[in-house]
Structure 1
Amino acid sequence: MPISRTRPDFTADERTQLVGWLDLQRSIVQWKCEGISEEDAHRSVLPKSPLMTVAGIVSHMRWTEQCWFEVLFLDHPATGPQFVGEEDADFMVEGIPLGRLLQEYDRQCAASNEIIAAHPLDQAGLNREFKSGSASLRWMLIHMIEETARHAGHLDTIRELLDGDTGYY
């Protein structure tokens, strides 16, 4: 499901603004993947960061959403590649088509939005295994805006290095 690349209204309530800004950044992640070849989606262009590919970032973002909203906030079991012990395992996507990764990311974002809609922004996370599990939902939302925007910027740079595609939403 494509997400609108529209900023939230200037006078919207806090939840609408926070989710709106997060959805905007999520849509930029999806947009930066449009029209890219499968080969380029998995191509490394940053010598010191070989796992930082378009496909790797999409996978990382999917698992980051799951970690913050399901594991840390709701205290669901810590599943996913980021918990297997190998550093940056959530970026390791060799052989996984970008289309599948984008579908998984889209589903995870929808699940995150359902969690966000069902809880007060002041509610603290339930997970006590990780220090960040005690953060409020508001804090987690702000963090996810920052995290997603940072990686949208990475995607912008990687796309320009791969095929010259540039653009601001």
Structure 2
Amino acid sequence: MTPYTAGEKQTLRASLDRHRDAVLWKLEGLDDEQLRRPMTPTGTSLLGLVKHLASVEYGWFVETFGGRAEPRWFDPYDDMRATPDETTQRIVAFYGRARAAADAVITELPLAAQGRPAWRDITVSLRWTLVHMIEETARHAGHMDILRELADGATGDHPRLTGTG
């Protein structure tokens, strides 16, 4: 839950984590075929969206601020689907490592720190990057909401608590 009275960095980080957790929750309870099934004409799948989000976490947080990202085994401009040789475990673990690497940058740097993405001729602050990645993750979590509903009818952005009155 996003804290109501925390400082700026803690609030932004909590918001990002809430959407990141929703992304992973969208995978729970589905079999491998459902996770990798292309659900759009372009081939987007639930696992493909997780792979994409891992790649952009590495790009925006790690590479933009001078770190070295884990090598990608795929074309980052064609990453919205899971290929037959990519296991669910591999993609989910890649996302976990990307999150951890991004979190290290967020923890280490002040919000005013500036970086330069290699693929664009701009300078960005960590603050801007956090807002951008909240938007990016929320946008794709919304895509995952639709794909999950199409896969098995499940809806919502987090597990519902039972027995809470």
| The two structures share one fold, judged by TM-score above 0.5 | yes
Match of 1:46 in 2: 40
For 2:83, the equivalent position in structure 1 comes to: 94
Q: CA deviation at 1:139?
A: 0.3
Aligned position for 1:3? none
Match of 2:161 in 1: none
5+ residue gaps in structure 2?
159-165
How many residues of Structure 1 are paired with residues of Structure 2 in the alignment? 156
Partner SS state of residue 114, structure 2:
coil
Alignment identity in percent?
37
CA RMSD of aligned residues (A): 1.9
1:166–1:77: structure 2 CA closer, same or farther, 3 Å change rule?
closer
Change (3 A) 1:58 1:46: same
Conservation of the 8 A alpha-carbon contact between 1:75 and 1:127:
no
Match of 1:151 in 2: 140
Report the alpha carbon displacement of residue 129 of structure 1 after superposing the two structures with TM.
Answer: 5.6
Whether the aligned pair in 1 keeps the contact of 2:38 and 2:81 (CA below 8 Å) is no
Distance 1:126 1:78, change over 3 A: farther
Report what 1:64 is aligned to.
Answer: 56
User: Which has the larger share of helix?
Assistant: 1
**1:92 deviation in Å?**
4.3
**Equivalent AA in structure 2 for residue 72 of structure 1:** T
Cα distance in 2 for partners of 1:57, 1:106 equals: 14
Distance 1:77 1:23, change over 3 A: closer
Q: Runs of 5+ in structure 1 lacking a partner?
A: 1-5
* Distance in 2 of aligned mates of 1:102 and 1:77: 16
Aligned residue among 87, 93, 97 for 1:103: 93
* Deviation by residue 1:4-63 (Cα, 9 ceiling, x = unmatched): xx2x2111000100100000000000000101110011111222x21x100100100000
Runs of 4+ in 1 over 3 A off after TM superposition: 75-79, 126-129
State the match for 2:114 in structure 1. Answer: 124
